Every structure is written in structure tokens, then in C-alpha cells.
Chains A and B, each alone.
Chain A
Amino acid sequence: MPVRIEALGPDHRPLMTGFQNQHSSLVEYLKRYALRHATKDLLARTFVAIDDAPTGPRLAGYFSLATVSVDRAAAERHPNLTRLPRFPIPGVLLARLAVDTRVQGQGLGRYLFEEALGRTLQLAKVGPVAFRLLVTDAIDATAARFYERHGLVQLSDEYPCRMVLDLRPIIEP
């Protein structure tokens, strides 16, 4: 059965408990904070991948989106960004992206990244706000390589985990 992407809601609570990932922080975020952040605190919105497995629906992965502002001075090594006036550069933060350990290596991470990128591009193109970057913080070297393959580059030596994708070439008319 196909995987479907849904905005995280209270209905998903029973599915969250079974989620497994090698990074305990990603598991803990989903189980303890994601729903609260999405519905109460309005800090980030989480989208979950639900797999309708024969044994019942399972939460196979998730990603969270929020807004972010990048210090213009931190973007010195990016020629296109240094041309910008000295204001903070707004962006969408791919705050977390995680795939259950038991279904890793099957393309779900790539699919979730595409979903996050597609939603970001939609918002950038037709939404009521302007922003320039897709930003993420790579949790480890494997994640950094994954994001590098998708065009994100390290922001600066000062923030070694922070990676950015300049959206202008993709969204300019």
C-alpha cells in the first residue's frame, strides 16, 4: 500500500509510539514536542509519512518545517548572498527530517525531502511572504552528505552544521 503524507494531528498519536531512529533526539521530538509545536505553540509544522502496512498503518518518517532568519554576515562565503543588503536573510527551516530505522535505504528520505522542497517552493512562489533560503541543520555527516547531494551547502565555518540552499535560481521568473 502506498505511503501518504499528512500534517501531524492528534489522530497520529497512537502511531508515534512505534517510531524508531538511531538519533534519540529525533524520536523524542516526534513523541514529545512535534504535536505541541504544531497545534499549540505554533513553532513548527510536522508532516508524517504513513505507510498502510498489512499489519496496520505505521509512521515511517516525518519532517518539520519552520521559519528562520540567517545572519547576513554569516553568509560571506556565498557570492550571491553577499550581494544582498545587510539585513537578516529569511528562509524556511527544514527543522527535522527522519526515517524509521526499519525502512531506511528505500528512498523515503529522498521522497520526504522532495515534499519539503516542493512545499517550500510553492510557498515561495505563490505565498504572501518572500524568503530566499531553504535552511537545515545536518544532524551528522551522513545527513550532511545527503543534503549536499540536494544542493545545500555549509553556511559558514562558524556554523558547521547549518546548510543552506539559495532558492533564487529555482523561483525567479
Chain B
Amino acid sequence: MVADTITLAVASHVSNILLTMARFQALTNNVLDAELEMLRKRLGLDRSQKAELLREVAGLAAWVVRQAEQGREIQARDAQNVEPLVHPALERVRARKARPVGQSLTLSDSEVERLTAVLERPFNPPAGLRAALASLAKVGRHPPKLRWKKAVAA
């Protein structure tokens, strides 16, 4: 009996969540549709021009994202009123740009100390390996500057 009550309570809780999610979904889809419809009218496009609408919106968004990637702030100015464009997506772009995944290797201080200690103890690696380890242990390690030669004919 008790188990039945619990099952019933859980089932009702789950159905409430599903109902809420469905309502949320409907609301967001409606809001999105309304926003797009508004944009379509403002951009002077017909109902049949959905592809054009998406292309133009994507073009505008791409410009905004490019500016954010270059570290530029986007503002709406009107005389003395200045309104910066703030959006979580732009924050993500900026954060990703500031610390891209997998960027050049940076060893911590303890890792550098450890590598230095390895090189100082009786360990006789080939010159190339010693140089590689020493380079990794060096603070401010730089990649080479490249000069591009003309393509070699195949």
C-alpha cells in the first residue's frame, strides 16, 4: 500500500515536470516564431522568404560574433545614450577567445622545476631529447617564426 502511494506520488511528480517542460517548449517556440515574424516584417520580407530571412539574420549575427572575437565591444549610441550589446553567447565567444582549448602548452612552476631536476640528475638522454626537455622547462618558450616558401611543383 505504501509502495503504491510512493509510486503514485513519483508518477505525478514526473508528469508535472513533463507538463512544465512541454509548456516551456511551447512558450519558447512561440516566442521564437513571434520574434522571427517581427524581424521578417521589419526587414521587408514576404512570408515565403524564410530562407532569405535566415540568411540575413545569420549574416548580421556573424558580423556581431566576429566583432566579439576580435575583442571589440558592440554599442548602440544615440547622442549621449550608450547601450552595450550584452548577451551570454557573446560572453562565451570572448571567454573562448581569451583561453582557447588546447592552446600552446604551458607548464606549471612545479612541472618546470621537476623537468629542471630531471636534467640535473644522472640521466643521459640524446642531445635532441635533452634540448626538448630544456626547451619545455624554459619560461617564455616561443614557436619559430616561419617564412613561407613558394609552393613546390608536384
Identify the A interface with B (CB < 8 A).
Answer: 2-7, 9, 20, 47, 49, 51, 53, 58, 60, 101-103, 106-108, 110-111, 113-115, 117-119, 121-122, 125, 148-151, 165, 169-170
- The answer to whether B146 touches A51 (Cβ under 8 A) is yes
Known: A53-B148, A102-B148. A110 touches B104 (CB 8 A): no
- The answer to whether B149 touches A102 (Cβ under 8 A) is yes
Q: Is the C-beta of B135 less than 8 angstroms from some C-beta in chain A?
A: yes
For B148, what are the chain A residues with a Cβ–Cβ distance below 8 Å? 51, 53, 58, 102-103
Closest to A53 in B: B148
- In chain B, residues 95-151, which have Cβ atoms closer than 8 Å to a Cβ of chain A? 100-105, 107, 111, 114-115, 118, 123, 125-129, 132-133, 135-136, 141-151
For B151, what are the chain A residues with a Cβ–Cβ distance below 8 Å? 20, 101-102
For A7, what are the chain B residues with a Cβ–Cβ distance below 8 Å? 100-102
Tell me what chain B mostly uses at the interface: helix, strand, loop, or mixed.
Answer: loop
- The answer to whether B129 touches A4 (Cβ under 8 A) is no
- The answer to whether A125 touches B111 (Cβ under 8 A) is yes
Closest to A105 in B: B149
Count of chain B residues near A, Cβ 8 A: 33
- The answer to whether A106 touches B103 (Cβ under 8 A) is no
For B143, what are the chain A residues with a Cβ–Cβ distance below 8 Å? 2-5, 49, 108, 111
Identify the B interface with A (CB < 8 A).
Answer: 100-105, 107, 111, 114-115, 118, 123, 125-129, 132-133, 135-136, 141-152
- The answer to whether B105 touches A118 (Cβ under 8 A) is yes
5 closest residue pairs by CB, A with B: A7-B102, A149-B128, A151-B129, A107-B144, A3-B143
Distance in Å: Cβ of B29 to nearest Cβ of chain A? 27
Known: A7-B101, A115-B105. A149 touches B146 (CB 8 A): no
Interface centre among A49, A60, A170 (most CB of B within 10 A): A170
**Pick the contact of A47 from B102, B129, B145, B149 — CB < 8 Å?**
B102
For A121, what are the chain B residues with a Cβ–Cβ distance below 8 Å? 111, 115, 136
